[in-house]
Amino acid sequence: MARICEICGKKTSVGYQIERRGLAKRKGGVGRKITGRTKRKFKANIQTIRANINGSIKKIKICTRCINAGKVVKVV
């Protein structure tokens, strides 16, 4: 299965890791310059838990933000 939260739909997103050089202007330099960009993935913190859904116990994949918000009832 995919790495997707079954409650809110949060999933892996893509972005860049940015390499910079130079000294910031506020520190007396001429500014920071970007010297490279590398693609990277931001992975959601997905946990597999046993939850009580509509009176039945199921294993679901859910992000930690939804767990902390109390959107599901964990089975003890």
CATH number at residue 43: 2.30.170
- Does 2 map to a domain? no
Q: What was the pLDDT predicted at 76? A: 82
Whether the predicted pLDDT of 1 surpasses 80: no
Domain of residue 33 covers 13-74
* Stated pTM of the model: 0.73
Tell how strand 46-53 and strand 73-74 pair up.
antiparallel
pLDDT, tens only, 3-61: 999 999 999 999 999 999 999 999 999 999 999 999 999 999 999 999 998 889 999 99
* Whether the Cβ atoms of residue 9 and residue 70 lie closer than 8 Å to each other: no
User: Is residue 54, in this structure, part of any structural domain at all?
Assistant: yes
Number of domains in the chain: 1
Please state, in angstroms and as integers, the Cα–Cα distance from residue 39 to each residue in 11, 13, 23, 68, following that order: 17, 11, 24, 30
Q: Could you tell me if residue 3 is inside a domain?
A: no
